[in-house]
Amino acid sequence: MSMSNRERLLKWLQDAYAMEQEAETMMKSMAGRLKHYPELEARIEAHIAETQQQAEEVKGCIERLDGSTPKAKSAAASVMASVQALGNAMMSDEVVKGVGICYGFEHMEAVSYRALVIAAEAAGEPEVGEVCRRIQQQEQAMAEWLLDHHAAIVGEFLAREPAPDATAKR
């Protein structure tokens, strides 16, 4: 079954809304366990606020196209993020793995919003495209921050791990 550009845009916006729900769940779980990495914790907390704003903006785009937010898809995304976070919490190097997972997820989000910009242009919805372009830039900025701070976070983990009373994993 073929979709019009507008229908495809709406479907992808609904997917993006669910993706933001997943991202928020994943980051909240991670941020709650980063007490020994205050700079990372602060950046994740700031991105949680951005993510919540992004979800509201995407919801506005969906409503602009006379669509509705996907309840089941959003719930499933949150459950998947919770399961992933639980698995991460059991790793002895949780902070290192978590940064890598977040880095990959931010890139996936950025490229998803890039596709939305293209789809919005094809559907004749420049306002939607502008919202998605702005969100894409925020996702790219978060990915770059994670990469720029990766060596320091890994180094801090490695320095903390051998200390008998230190909690390195988070």
Residue type, 165: D
* CATH, residue 122: 1.20.1260.10
Question: Which pair of structure tokens corresponds to residue 13?
Answer: 């916006």
Residue 168 CB-half CA count within 13 A: 17
pLDDT of 75: 53
Q: Is residue 167 part of a domain?
A: no
Rounded Cα–Cα distance for residues 144 and 122 (Å): 29
pTM for this prediction: 0.85
Residue 153 CB-half CA count within 13 A: 24
Rounded Cα–Cα distance for residues 47 and 161 (Å): 27
Q: Is residue 168 part of a domain?
A: no
Give the number of domains in the chain.
1
Across 55-59, 156-160, 166-170, the highest mean pLDDT is recorded for 55-59
Tell me the residue range of the domain where 17 lies.
5-160
**Lowest model confidence (mean pLDDT) among 7-21, 50-64, 72-86, 142-156:** 72-86
What is the phi/psi pair of residue 163, to 5°? -70, 130
- CA-CA-CA-CA torsion sign (77, 83, 86, 88): negative
pLDDT of 4: 96
Question: 73: pLDDT confidence band, cut at 50, 70 and 90?
Answer: low
Residue 19: CB atoms within 10 A of its CB come to 24
User: Mind listing the pLDDT tens digit for each residue in 17-55?
Assistant: 999 999 999 899 888 888 889 999 999 999 999 999 999
pLDDT of 87: 47
